Amino acid sequence: MAAYPSLYAGQKLTAALLSSMQPFTVIKAADESVTSSTALQDDNHLIIPLAAASTYTIEGALFYDGVYNAGNLKLTWSLPALATILWSPNAPATGGAAAYASNGTTAGNLTVGTYGTGGTKTTASITATVTTFGTAGNMTLRWAQDASNATATTIYAGSWLRALRIA
C-alpha cells in the first residue's frame, strides 16, 4: 500500500517533510451572505492551497441557513487547471422534504436545502477527493442561492474545510 509521503530507512526528517504530512485546515472567520442572486461567487475564507501533481482527501462542514424551501444553497468549486474532483455534500434535500441529499459529482453544481433563517444553521458535511496535475493552485468554495430570494442565504463563521495530501 502506498503512503504519502514515502519514508525510507535512514531518511532525514526535515521540517518541510513533517509539515507535508499534516492536514491543512481553514476555518471561516466571518459570516457571509448572498441575497437575490444565483450567480456563483468565491467564498472569502474557504480556500485551500493545493500542490501540483498531488491527490488530497477533503472533508468539512458548512453551517448555513436561508429561507425554508426557497433560496436553497448552490455549491461548486474553483480548482487549479486540469484538476479533477469527486465530491458530495451530505445535507438536507431541496423541496422541503425531511430527507438528506448525498450526491457525488465530478463537475457542475450541487444544491442543498435551506430550512430556516435567523441562525437556525443547517449543516452540510463535505467529502471530496481532488487530484491536481501539472498546476498548483487554490481550491475555493463557490456558492450562491439556487433560486433568487430576497431573504439572504448565509454561510456562517466556524464552517471549515480540511485537506490531507495522500499522494
Please state, in angstroms and rounded to a whole number, the distance separating the CA atoms of residues 95 and 130. Answer: 30
Of the two residues 126 and 93, the one the predictor is more confident about is 126
> What local confidence, expressed as pLDDT, does residue 21 receive?
83
Q: Is the pLDDT of residue 49 over 80?
A: yes
Please state, in angstroms and rounded to a whole number, the distance separating the CA atoms of residues 110 and 126. Answer: 12
Please state, in angstroms and rounded to a whole number, the distance separating the CA atoms of residues 123 and 102. Answer: 13
Query: What band does 67 get if pLDDT is binned at 50, 70 and 90?
Result: confident
DSSP symbol at 55: E
Yes or no: say if 69 and 147 are a contact pair by the CB < 8 Å rule: no
Grid cell locating 3 = 503512503
Query: What band does 108 get if pLDDT is binned at 50, 70 and 90?
Result: confident
What integer is the mean pLDDT of 140-160?
96
pLDDT for 9-44, tens place per residue? 988 888 988 888 889 999 999 999 999 999 999 999
End-to-end C-alpha distance for the chain, whole angstroms:
12
DSSP symbol at 116: B
Of the two residues 148 and 91, the one the predictor is more confident about is 148
**Mean pLDDT across the chain:** 89
| Domains of the chain: residue spans and CATH | 25-165 (2.60.120)
Q: Is the pLDDT of residue 57 over 70?
A: yes
Please state, in angstroms and rounded to a whole number, the distance separating the CA atoms of residues 128 and 106. Answer: 10
> What local confidence, expressed as pLDDT, does residue 1 receive?
45
pTM above 0.95, yes or no: no
